[in-house]
């Protein structure tokens, strides 16, 4: 585990206890655990959504013949100069 053995872990624990105290340390651990769980859930949800999106997207090569869709036509704009003759 990152090359840390028991003496190094004990020194880190003592320093954390001195910095945050015995009351704050459990709260920090709970907050850290909740944050990690939320991050994992969001990452898994994002991966599942990406897989679902990839399944739904089909190119025109994968669609049956005659079902390829075209881009919608742009509505024609009215000619502002209707009354004027063009040269």
3-state secondary structure the chain: CCCCCHHHHHHHHHHHHHHHHHHHHHHHHHHHHHHHHHHHHHHHHHHHHHHHHHHHCCCCCCCCCCCCCCCCCCCCCCCCCCCCCCC
Verdict on whether the full-model pTM lies above 0.85: no
**Residue 40: predicted pLDDT:** 93
| Average pLDDT estimate for 39-54 | 80
How far, in Å, CA of 58 to CA of 85, rounded? 48
Domain definitions of the chain by residue range: 22-56
| Average pLDDT estimate for 18-23 | 89
| Average pLDDT estimate for 25-48 | 90
């Amino acid at each position: 585990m990152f090359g840390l053995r028991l003496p190094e872990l004990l020194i880190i624990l003592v320093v954390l206890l001195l910095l945050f105290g015995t009351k704050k340390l459990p709260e920090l651990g709970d907050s850290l655990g909740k944050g990690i769980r939320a991050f994992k859930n969001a990452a898994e949800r994002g991966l599942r959504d990406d897989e679902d999106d990839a399944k739904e997207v089909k190119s025109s090569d994968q669609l049956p013949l005659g079902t390829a869709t075209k881009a919608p036509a742009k509505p024609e704009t009215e000619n502002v100069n209707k009354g004027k003759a063009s040269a």
